[in-house]
Amino acid sequence: MVQIFLNFWADLISADTIHLVVKPYWAMHVLLVNGPNLNLLGHREENLYGSKDLKSIENELESIAKNEGVTLECFQSNFEGALIEKVHQAMGKKDGILINAGAYTHTSIALRDALLGTSIPFVELHLSNTFARERFRHKSFLAEKAVGVVIGFGSMSYELALHGLIAHLRRD
């Protein structure tokens, strides 16, 4: 009886169990990166991107993350280099990245390399359905390396992408 009791506790605190139980639920840190022109959300081409501004989207996502026991840091820049540096700084600090790289999605090998360089799992997302738009938006330099891609659900793409990323990280 005593032996069974001791085995039970030994199993419970094994490294694998700690990783499974503790890391995914209490120590998950996610970075949300928004690229160029996404600071204009709410004013910009509302027919494509909706009427919510970026701050509202970030606030909503923060509360979803909090409910899930995940910390969320939000970052937006119109500069490719700043986005790359932010991704570099996530190394060793973040478990996952959500990224709407805006137009850099279709042009930036450097941003793709930054994401690959950190080896942090990431989800690409877009408000609009880029495949229903101009041909140059059909190409993504990031998609092939992403855990998954969420496109076309407006501001809901952010929520879906967060849930997808969390589920992916908890599965690891």
| Rounded Cα gap, residues 126 and 150, in angstroms | 6
Report, in Å, the least distance between residue 66 CB and ligand DQA: 24
Strand partners, 126: 151
Amino acid, single-letter form, for residue 40: L
Grouping H, G, I as helix, E, B as strand and the rest as coil, residue 2 is helix
Q: Are 122 and 146 in contact (CB under 8 A)?
A: yes
Of 135 and 171, which has the nearer Cβ to ligand DQA? 135
Applying CB under 6 A, which of residues 74, 128, 142, 150 lies at the interface with ligand DQA?
128
For the chain, the first-to-last Cα distance in angstroms comes to 34
Chosen residue from 29, 37, 58, 168 binding ligand DQA by CB under 6 A: 37
**Given the residues 25, 104, 126, 168, the one annotated as active site:** 126
Q: Determine, following the binding rule CB under 6 A, whether residue 127 of this chain makes contact with ligand DQA.
A: yes
CA gap 60, 8 in Å, rounded = 41
Active-site residue (options: 29, 49, 106, 138) = 49
Distances (CA, A) of 68 to 37, 91, 120, 149: 29, 22, 20, 21
Residue 19 is among the residues annotated as catalytic for this protein = no
Question: CB-wise, 106 or 163, nearer to ligand DQA?
Answer: 106
**Residue 126 known to be catalytic:** yes
List alpha helices for 33-143, DSSP H. 46-49, 54-67, 80-89, 109-118
Per rule CB under 6 A, is residue 137 in the interface with ligand DQA? Answer: yes
Q: Does 121 bind ligand DQA (CB under 6 A)?
A: no
Question: Quick one: which segment of 6-14, 24-32, 73-81, 120-128 binds ligand DQA (CB under 6 A)?
Answer: 120-128
Residues 64-103 as x/- pattern, contact with ligand DQA by CB under 6 A: ------------------------------------x-xx
Rounded Cα gap, residues 95 and 10, in angstroms: 28
Which residues are part of the catalytic machinery?
49, 126
- Judged by the rule CB under 6 A, the positions of this chain that interact with ligand DQA are 37, 100, 102-103, 105, 126-128, 130, 137
